[in-house]
Structure 1
Amino acid sequence: MRTTIIKKTLRVPLSDGAAGDGGTTARQLDVALIKAGFKASRELLDHVGTLADAEEYAVTVVRAVRELVGGQAQHNPYFKDFPHNVPDTVEFWLECIDDAFAQGIGFRGNLLDLPRYGRVQHAYEEMLEAHDELIGSLKDRATVLHLGGTLDDEITRLYLELAASPIPLGEDDRALLGELATQRLDLVPEAVPTRENRAILNAARLVAQRPLIDVDTVTDVLRLACEASGGDVTLREPTRFRSFRRPERRALLAALNEVDTSKFGDVNQHREAWKRLGERLHPHEHPFEQAQDVFAVARKEKTARSFAGQVEVAFADNDPDLALRILSKAPGMLLRQVDRLVRTGATGVAEAVRAAVPDVSGRVLVSVLEHLGNREKPDAARVFANRSRKVWIADDTRPPIDAAAIIGVIEDELVRRLPDFSELIVDPEVLDVAVPVSGAATEEGFGVLPRGSKLRLDGDVLRFFVHWRQTSKRTDYDLSAALLNENFEFCGYVSWTRLKDSGAFHSGDITDATDGATEFIDLHHNAFNAKYVVPQVNIYTGEGFDDVAESMFGFMSRDLDQQGKPFEPSTVRARSSMRGRGKVALPIMFERDGDTWHGTWLHLYLRGITWGNRIEENRDLVKLITSAALHRRYFTVRRLVELFGRKGSTPDAPSIHIGLTRSEAGGVTTVAELGNLLSD
């Protein structure tokens, strides 16, 4: 848990060990952290200097930060000298074939049959000897680690931060919240805004036979049952319900019995899940008649029209005004249907929105505002991403809409919600970061930003990498990069089938990851001509991104004269896990502007094919996706600053500082906390 807290918060919990002289270890810790791209705060170093167990404590800290940037693995490229001496692709293949004939093996058309192909031919230590030491630079990253409270205090703090998140959490954070909830059963947060988080907390309380909190819809109960069965609390995937103990069955049915019957129509959306759950709960064994009706609706023995169903009937009858009157009873749903209401000619939409917005969550308001800001003209293509980040594309046949009045209403509400401030300080690098509205629009990792966020990278070399380790069967991931010109036309690529292309170099194809495997691609400014670069990770064969033991994507920047190994932790700018259902990952894209790169986070997955995915087959899709991503206007911190400007400062209010990470002085609102500024 101490390691988890360091990686999640960059706070190091206090040691509860005995006092002693740890001064030497503190100095060694400082050096080790700098090599990994981190820096200990003065308070942290002072604390280490007072510990008898300083060495063990320091080892934990260093291990945590190295894992955070992906430095726990031995990143050994196929070509020992990479990025130097990368051969021509065909020449390399011919060398592998010649080697096979020399060994009496021959070649029958499959590169994987060749002893030299896809299998690293040198030890990790040999690779290290082929590279000079990294020369430090002021451009290298230096992320500050702060001293936290006691381990118990930090667990409580992290638990409350996750539980109170105003946006749905990602998969890893949901699992962590579930773990922490079992340790903090006596601590009930003041507010749990998202229903998924509420279900996670209630699952822990159900098992411990504690009273459930804030259950007011039938879907709340279904989420709870799924979470308590080890299933999917988001309800995207079917759950195999476990056998519940009698007290658990009674608690679930009692909660259902208290739900307003007007909400029973929501059962229809997950009818099959409700029927399976009914087989586990035995509702007729308990005196809860209203709860029994829920399962009767699921079996179609009773009828309950959902709220959404009433709205659809109104639209089907070509009566958008009736749809608007119905939606006015559900503010959140009304905001999500604004585009449709405007397109179908409903009257008084802006007035209805004005009445609804005080009761709508900040993340929904931001999401709708962003959507309407992109509806002035048709998109070249509509790019959809579901909560698993799998993407599909459709033509944009919608007529443009004029939503200026509605945009003004939503902006006025957001301005009203912003906290009073005497001074607003915003770090420049955060201005083009998208305000997060869902944990599904990002990945777990280090330096990872929400979809649509932009960042700047300087340096002679941009290097990105993929690392994966298979679980049980041979798994071959292929790192590739599509090269596009200023018109988003395909002008080249780098992959295992083309190891180099005008200033771009591939580290070599590795086809088995029993002990972990890493592939790199280098882009050198002085010899590179493409305008856009789209890295992608293709699953050629083997286990999916959700099935491998580990998988990550990351990127580094450095100058040519810095030398160093292919993987240097201090040069890592971001490290993102890859957990998605598609066969092709598109983590980020890069745009070249002179000697500077601008990255735009994508966090998308293409369906791909069962095996044999290659960059040559999906380049047209990549072109559409990247063009749409760059032309889309996201709700960024820059837009948030404009709203703060409309609100105006208040002399006696506290100052607000927005940045990527916390400062030593504290008081910084980070990207993950931006949603809190817009919650009412």
Structure 2
Amino acid sequence: MIDRLEPLVLRHTFRIPLPTAPVSESPTGPLGEGAVAARQFDAALLTVGFKLSADLLERLSVLPEETVVRIAGRTLRTVRELVGDHVRHNAYFIDFPKNVPSTEDFWMECLLDALRDEKTRAGTLAEMWTGVVNLLSLPTYGRYQHTYAELLAVQDELIAAAGDRLTVLHPGGHLVDELTALYLALAGSTTPLGEEHQRDLRALAERCADGPQPEAIPVRENRALVNQARLKAGSELLVDTVTDVLRLACALSDGEVSLLAPTRFRSQSRPVRRALLAALDSVVAASPAKLADVAVHREAWKRLGERLHPHEYPRWPHAAEVFAVARGERKAPSFDGRVEELLAADDLLGAVALLRSAPGKLFRALDRLLRTARTQEERDAVAAAAEQVAPEVSGRVVLSVREHLHNRARETGQLRVFVNRRGRAWVTDDERSVVGPVERARLIAALDDETRRRLPVVERLLVDPEVLDVALPLSGKATAAGLGVLPRGSLSAVEGELLRFFVYWKEAKRRTDFDLSALMLNADYSTNAWLSYTSLTEVEGEHSGDIVEAPDGASEFINLRLGSVRGAFVVPQVNIFAGEGFEEVEESFFGFMLREGEQRGRPFEPRTVRMKSELRGAGRVALPLVFLRGDDGGWRAKWLHLYLKGSPSANRVEENRVTVATLLRGIVEREQLTVRHLVELMTGEGTTVTLWDGETVPDGPVTYIGLRRPDELPEGSRIVTPENLRDLIPA
């Protein structure tokens, strides 16, 4: 049933699919009796920080009551999960953030409790004689001493505030139409999708493979997921390289279509094996030069060959050549290898001439080519080649190189930050020689001209000022799944007196201990203080207490008074002390809330949640974002979505603070291309740009770019929010 896909529409668009026409009969009442249920639905949404738009409320009111109740049930489940309210958030200290003891007092009380208990007294005394007491051996340490219901009984009610988050839901079309539109948007995305969006595309492709298709599927990973569905449906495969077939094989074995990690290929049925081999054969027959791509993933091809048995299918001899190259039985020099040979022979102009045939590779090698050039003639040749092939390069690569060149204006001796597609980050000194300012300026101007040429002509542009500092989503890998999450490098304002971080995790198979910490750094990135299980209280705030296992799920919180923070940076982090990793646990997520000083409320209040993101990364230390104090004393969040390798166990904020500070410096000092850049390029003759004041309704259709969709934009307006911000990236 397609109803199970309805939450996808809501998560991606904040629209609720509706029947195309009112149902004529209802077993529970006549048409139009949904008004009461719709108002009750709206009230229930408010408790978790959501609301029905006026148009949606009106359209629900004319539906049968049973239909409204059914829609409300599905929607409430989805939005509660979006904000993190689908689980119970208990805190170790029952009246947190009040009455949190000092770390020393708390540990002493746990020790005294163990000595008072006849079952643990002897073992505790024996540990004390050794001079070291294991906190985990103390029965009252790290395990909830009260139920969730008992916590609620002692907590004050949340006082409503004007600054509470309110996410408006809008009416959508029929579910089938919404799913088709979402499939076309994801499949045709000009930028790679994140892990969650890839899962959604896979599910959508299963039902949309025989329907309308996007004009192009430029991202190869997306193409692999679509091909998986097309193979199942018996449709023609979309492949034009041998690597397309390899990605499809990975998808069929539930492996990574990004090819970043090895896939354990499964045995496939004969029809599937024939389809893969036929696709390989057609690609190589049409262009034998594409055999050169095999060497890049030689080991994967060897393993796949063991499953496909190409020798059993002599009718596809070109497919067999792929595996012969992988085994080294046939030579097929790679394109990259040919480029390296030319550069090793000091034939820069020859390398540039060869790279003209691969525009994307030329752009990715621009920095190296400019640094390798020894004469002005060679530098001019590199710049001229880039200008010539620019129209053939994807928009996201054009913008990525533009951002790179902008940051190369910095002096030498700076830090260089590396982030792979799984969010793993590391930093080193930047020892590269500078790129010549003349060539850098020339290329930046050329790339801006090329981007401007591709952007759509917009007569009326309405822009929310808050979106201008949002980083362009050049890859979905740079954004975690969740609510209120922005791409890596984005800046957003933080308004509120109390900032509260939270982490939730539920272990899958073995005891798992996540530790939430907050590191406060000075303006020079030196350590000021931190809050963690080893430092429960500081001037800035309080920690809710250490939880060391989560068979039924566990939460930790940090409460910060922003006016009391002594440093210039606040870096929340989640350390894995023991057990399963972020990608192994059953569930884990991080987020933050903002409250006014007198709001009180439970440790977790969904109406005050500003951001909640999934923790799914390769590493043992998660750095979701950093908070920066501005010159005016105000605070802004800069989004990181990073993971550090860390240690296999016992990761602590005290041990990684130097690494975090060094990485943070490299990130903070790097300038991102933001929405502001594209808005400036779109501003020209015939375009009227207006900054949205949050109230004035335009008198005609506009292109709106903002963090949230306004409630009353004229019909025919194009709306771009973080949910579809990737649509701004030109193809």
Q: Deviations over 1:378-418 (max 9, x none)?
A: 36321111111111222110112121111111110001111
1:561 alignment partner, SS class: coil
Deviation digits for residues 491-525 of structure 1, max 9, x if unmatched?
11110000011122111101111111111111103
> Alignment partner for residue 663 of structure 1, among 684, 702, 710?
710
Aligned-partner Cα distance in 1 for 2:278–2:708: 44
Q: Which amino acid aligns with 1:195?
A: R
C-alpha distance in 1 between matches for 2:135 and 2:514: 15
1:489 Cα deviation after fit? 0.8
CA distance in 2, matches of 1:554, 1:675: 23
1:146 aligns with 2:197: no
Q: Which deviates further from its counterpart, 578-587 or 274-283?
A: 274-283
Q: Which amino acid aligns with 2:408?
A: R
Equivalent residue, structure 1, for 2:696: none
- C-alpha separation between the residues in 2 aligned to 1:170 and 1:407? 28
Q: Is the 8 A contact 2:485 2:611 kept in 1?
A: yes
2:98 aligns with: 84
Shifted more, 558-567 versus 51-60: the winner is: 51-60
Encode CA deviations 1:404-436: one digit per residue, 9 max, x unaligned.
111111110001111111122110110100001
Aligned to 1:263: 290
- The question of 1:202 aligning with 2:227 is answered yes
Which one of the candidate residues 620, 633, 637 is aligned to 1:599?
A: 637
Counterpart amino acid of 1:667? R
Give the direction of change, closer, same or farther, for the CA distance of 1:479–1:30 in structure 2 (3 Å limit).
same
Aligned-pair CA distance for 1:648: 5.4
Q: 1:45 to 1:433 in 2, by over 3 A?
A: same
Q: How many residues align?
A: 678
Structure 2 counterpart of 1:313, from 328, 341, 344: 341
Instruction: Indicate the SS of the match to 1:258.
Output: helix
Distance of aligned partners of 1:111 and 1:657 in 2 relative to their CA distance in 1, 3 Å threshold: same
CA distance in 2, matches of 1:317, 1:118: 63
Match of 2:581 among 544, 550, 554: 544
Q: Is the 8 A contact 1:417 1:677 kept in 2?
A: no
Does the CA-based 8 Å contact 1:257-1:290 persist in structure 2? yes
TM-aligned CA deviation for residue 57 of structure 1: 2.2
1:612 and 2:659 aligned: no
CA distance in 1, matches of 2:168, 2:576: 36
Q: TM-score, normalised by structure 1?
A: 0.97
Aligned to 2:416: 382
1:162-188 per-position Cα deviation (integer Å, ceiling 9, x unaligned): 101110111111111111111112123
CA distance in 2, matches of 1:504, 1:532: 15
C-alpha distance in 1, partners of 2:269/2:144?
53
In 2, distance between residues paired with 1:526 and 1:285? 72
Deviates more, 1:134-143 or 1:16-25: 16-25
SS in 2 for 1:166: coil
CA distance in 1, matches of 2:548, 2:350: 59
Matches within 5 A, 1:15-94: 18=26, 19-49=31-61, 50-53=63-66, 54-94=68-108
Determine the C-alpha separation between the residues in 2 that align with 1:41 and 1:123: 37
2:12 touches 2:723 (CA, 8 Å); kept in 1?
Answer: no
Stretch deviating more after TM superposition (286-295 or 43-52):
43-52
Range that drifts further, 228-237 or 316-325:
316-325
1:645 CA drift (Å):
2.4
- Which of 331, 354, 371 is the matching residue for 2:359? 331
From 267, 273, 276, the equivalent of 1:249 is 273
User: Which amino acid in the other structure matches residue 22 of structure 1?
Assistant: G
Q: Counterparts in 2 of 1:172-571, with a 5 A limit?
A: 172-187=196-211, 188-213=213-238, 215-259=239-283, 260-286=287-313, 287-345=315-373, 346-347=378-379, 348-376=381-409, 377-378=411-412, 380-401=414-435, 402=437, 403-571=440-608
Instruction: Show the counterpart of 1:3.
Output: 7
Secondary structure of the structure 1 residue equivalent to 2:618: coil
The SS at the match of 1:500 is: coil
- State the distance in 2 between where 1:568 and 1:91 align: 29
1:640 aligns with 2:678: yes
Structure 1, unaligned stretches of length 5 or more? none
Instruction: Give the match's secondary structure for 2:594.
Output: strand
Deviation of 1:135 after TM superposition, in Å, equals 1.3
**DSSP 3-state at the match of 2:354:** helix
Name the aligned partner's letter for residue 52 of structure 1: E
Q: Secondary structure at the match of 2:598?
A: helix
Q: Give secondary structure in 2 for the equivalent of 1:153.
A: helix
Q: Deviations over 1:450-505 (max 9, x none)?
A: 10001111111011111111111111000001110111111111100000111221
- Give the Å deviation of 1:8: 2.4
CA distance in 2, matches of 1:379, 1:478: 34
Matched, 1:13 2:13: no
Change (3 A) 1:646 1:333: farther
Whole-angstrom distance in 2 between the partners of 1:45 and 1:547: 41
Structure 2 residue matching 1:608: 3-state secondary structure: coil
Normalising by the residue count of structure 2, what TM-score does the alignment of the two structures yield?
A: 0.90
Percent identity of paired positions between Structure 1 and Structure 2:
50
Equivalent position of 1:679 in the other structure: 730
CA deviations over 1:260-291 (Å, ceiling 9, x no partner):
11111110111111111112222222211221
Q: Is the 8 A contact 2:507 2:553 kept in 1?
A: yes
Q: Which moved more, 1:534-543 or 1:521-530?
A: 521-530
TM-superposed deviation, 1:595: 5.5
Q: What displacement does 1:128 show?
A: 1.4
Query: Partner amino acid for 1:426?
Result: V
The 3 A distance-change label for structure 1 pair 559 and 585 is same
Output the CA distance in 2 between the equivalents of 1:239 and 1:528.
47
Between 522-531 and 144-153, the greater mean CA deviation after superposition:
522-531
Match of 2:18, as an amino acid?
L
* Equivalent in 111, 114, 117 of residue 138 of structure 2: 114
Q: Which 10-residue stretch deviates more, 630-639 or 202-211?
A: 202-211
Counterpart in the other structure of 2:697: none
Distance between the aligned counterparts of 1:458 and 1:148, measured in 2?
31
How many angstroms does 1:647 deviate by? 6.4
Partner of 1:127: 151
* Separation in 2, partners of 1:648, 1:600: 34
Root-mean-square deviation over aligned CA pairs = 1.7
Q: Which runs of 5+ in 2 are unaligned?
A: 128-132, 690-699
Does the aligned pair in 2 maintain the 1:465–1:519 contact within 8 Å? yes
Cα distance between partner residues in 2 of 1:210 and 1:588? 43
User: CA 1:647 to 1:520, structure 2 compared with 1: closer, same or farther past 3 Å?
Assistant: farther
CA contact 1:204–1:228 (8 Å) conserved in 2: no
1:270/1:647 Cα in 2 relative to 1: closer, same or farther (>3 Å)?
farther
Inter-partner Cα distance in structure 2 for 1:3 and 1:20: 25
- CA deviation profile, 1:329-370 (whole Å, cap 9, x unmatched): 111111111100100014312211111111111111111111
Q: Distance in 1 between matches of 2:266 and 2:706?
A: 44
Q: The residue matched to 2:655 in structure 1 has which SS?
A: helix
Cα displacement (A) at 1:528? 2.2
Displacement of 1:249 in angstroms is: 1.7
Q: Does 1:621 align with 2:634?
A: no
Contact kept, 8 Å, 1:420 with 1:650, in 2: the verdict is no
Contact 2:426 2:663 in 1 (8 A): no
Q: Which amino acid aligns with 2:389?
A: A
Give, in whole Å, the separation in 2 of the partners of 1:586 and 1:357: 35
- State the one-letter code of the partner of 1:31: A
Q: Distance in 1 between matches of 2:74 and 2:11?
A: 11
Secondary structure of the corresponding residue to residue 7 of structure 1:
helix
